[in-house]
Amino acid sequence: MIAKVVVNRPVKGHFDYEIPLKFKDKIKRGQRVKIRFGSSKAIGYVVGIYQESKIKKLRNIEEIIDNEPILDAHLLRLTEEVSKYYLCSWGEVLDAVFPSGLKKNKIILKTDKALKKDIEK
């Protein structure tokens, strides 16, 4: 499986990354991932998941940052349109959506059941 990833860099389009077996059941559209981008590491946003890529040699996703997607389909569509309107990369717009404190931390979204347990305690 292949993840289409955008990054907070002034580059057009998305980049294909191989999804390692250990992440196949965990990765979803709208999550942040750690990747190797050029000669450095970067945080990317998964904007699509596909079975194949036209590119033969791909880098692997190194880590999934978020347990659950932090971007829903509506926000992904909106930010993609904003990037087209303002002629900037989709990754730059996605990065601008989040407060700086969230960009550095892992976001853990709890289910209703987990929240109820916390409240009961």
pLDDT for 31-88, tens place per residue? Answer: 999 999 999 999 999 999 999 999 989 999 999 998 899 899 999 999 999 999 999 9
- Strands 40-50 and 15-18 turn out to be unpaired
For residue 35, the model assigns a pLDDT of 96
**In total, how many domains does the chain have?**
1
The residues near 81 (Cβ < 8 Å, ≥ 6 apart) are none
At 72, which CATH number? 3.40.1440.60
Domain that holds residue 29: 2-120
User: In which residue are the tokens 């991932």 written?
Assistant: 33
- The number of helix segments (H) and strand segments (E) in the chain equals 4, 5
Predicted model pTM: 0.81
